[in-house]
Structure 1
Amino acid sequence: MDLQLTGRTALVTGGSRGIGRAVVEGLAAEGATVAFCARSADGVAKTEEELRDAGHDVHGTAVDVTDGDALGAWVRDSAATHGGIDAVVANVSALAIPSTEENWAASFTTDMMHTVRLVEAALPSLEESDAGAIVTISSVSGREIDFAAGPYGTFKGALVHYTQGLAYQLAGRVRANTVSPGNVYFTGGVWESIEENDPDLYAHALGLNPTGRMATPEEVARAVVFLASPAATFISGTNLVVDGALTRGVQL
């Protein structure tokens, strides 16, 4: 299937590792120009170098997405540099699970407001595109009650609501969809750390998935890339769960 991404421009937050990096690589492999950001300048430079060496048209910038002014400037600069924006992927999360006041604030600022600010800054460009698309990254923790039912799960659920609202409000102009991954394992990721430091929790989480494993970033990224592409022209307002049948609730 031709995803019709050749010549398109996409922006991805948190693009230097994990799901974000896989999304950047997936979009670029389909022919898109991809601008991505992450907080670590070293991580951004390393990712940009590796993906450019692989022949991809990617452009990394160190940005703290909790800084609304910096995030907005990056979006506007990217649009000016690349002649517009066709898709944005809001991927960054604070991964704040314990129910502390600090984690509630971090989840609101990072998960929720970075997404809102990214969309608002990119919307003028997205509306000028003939295939404008927004993809937000939620989680199965936003869909059902699990061990992350505090700030993390609450704001992941809010992202689904926000995105479906966008889909309705922007219908016919810009599409908006959510991808909700289950547990995703990658080197340097949170589940590798949990495996090493809390083996009981890791074993519990692994045991919940009937596939007997966690997802790879690439498996989640494929869903994101499709929803961000012009190939998904009539898909808007959906929450695509990528969890290997981990969740058992019926999504109506």
Structure 2
Amino acid sequence: MGSLQGQNVVVVGGSRGVGRSIVEAALREGATVLAAARGAAALKELSWEASGVRTLAVDATQEAAPDTVFAALEPDVLVICAGAFAPSAPLQDQSWDEFSANWEMDVKASFLFCQAALRGRMKSGGRVVLISSGAAFSGGPPNSGGYSGAKRMQMVLAAHGQKEADRLGLGLRFMALAPMRIMAGTGVGQRGIEGVSTYLGISPADFLASMTDMQTPADVANAVVALAGGKLQGTAFTVSGSGLAAAA
């Protein structure tokens, strides 16, 4: 019997990359899984390849998105993995729309779903996991716009959500998980690798060769499963090639 047997897991941003790895891990652990994402085509492909997954096409930044998602499946575990591509231009060449892309997507989706959970849309014992980034600690390169600040804000949202859940006696857990290294093989990761290596004037291969202790999407998925167990204390965690750890 899997560790998530009999539980409902909703992955917002679950059609590709890290989100898809989380969906697949939750299915292996026996959960009923709903993958929500904007792209209907990617969701259709996922439903063909991941037996038993439920899918829902929805824009997670819309005010009604939490109601739509929770009506499709009431989650015991809610994972917010939806995210925009970071900019890849020097700061002085970015428009505000480019700079704020991750605030308007990553942070807004996290905000809306955390808010819905605190308003009673998740029952006691529910766990919310926001997928952040190691850029929240490093600041990221100057060509990545508001990405690092947005990923740090997800950690702040998790901390604020936990304080409110405790104050209101809701019995909910809010956590943020930061993969510490950029990941090849995912849309966001590959875009980031290309953008950073171009900015630094080196090849993507040389940039990747400079990285150590790299995690994979499967490592992130396994960390989410561990956090879903609800036994670890704290609201901020990291995952690297060395495994899952509480954030310093």
TM range (shorter): 0.7 to 0.9
Residues 185 and 215 from structure 1, CA distance in 2 versus in 1: closer, same or farther, beyond 3 angstroms? Answer: farther
In 2, Cα distance between equivalents of 1:236 and 1:170: 13
Structure 2: tracts of 5 or more residues without a match: none
Tell me, in whole angstroms, the C-alpha distance in 1 between the residues paired with 2:110 and 2:212: 32
**C-alpha distance in 2 between matches for 1:136 and 1:240:** 10
Question: Separation in 2 of the partners of 1:94 and 1:45?
Answer: 21
- Provide the residue aligned with 1:184 in structure 2: 183
The SS at the match of 2:54 is: strand
Q: Within 2, Cα distance between the matches of 1:193 and 1:119? A: 27
1:202 aligns with one of 201, 204, 207: 204
Q: Distance in 2 between matches of 1:67 and 1:186?
A: 28
Identity of aligned residues (%): 29
Name the TM-score, length of structure 1 as normaliser. 0.81
Alpha carbons of structure 1 residues 96 and 187: separation in structure 2 relative to 1, 3 Å: closer
Q: Is the 8 A contact 1:86 1:125 kept in 2?
A: no
TM-score (norm 2): 0.82
Residue 192 of structure 1 deviates from its aligned partner by 6.9
Question: How many residue pairs get matched?
Answer: 231
Q: Is the 8 Å Cα contact of residues 84 and 188 (structure 2) preserved in structure 1?
A: no
Q: Which residue of 1 aligns with 2:70?
A: 76
Per-residue Cα deviation, 1:114-154 (whole angstroms, up to 9, x for no partner): 1111222344232x24x210100110101112316630011
Alpha-carbon distance change, 210 to 108 in structure 1, aligned in 2, over 3 angstroms: closer
**One-letter code aligned to 1:144:** S
Change (3 A) 1:109 1:143: same
Which 4+ runs in 1 deviate beyond 4 A?
Answer: 192-199
Provide the C-alpha distance between the structure 2 equivalents of 1:136 and 1:66, rounded to a whole number of angstroms.
Answer: 14
Aligned Cα root-mean-square deviation (Å): 2.7
SS of alignment partner, residue 180 of structure 1: strand
Instruction: Mark the CA change 1:194 to 1:210 in structure 2 (over 3 Å): closer, same or farther.
Output: closer
Per the alignment, do residues 146 and 167 of structure 1 end up closer, same or farther by CA in structure 2, a change over 3 Å counting?
Answer: same
- How far did 1:96 drift? 2.0
Distance in 2, matches of 1:201 and 1:91, equals 28
Give 5+ residue unaligned stretches, structure 1. none
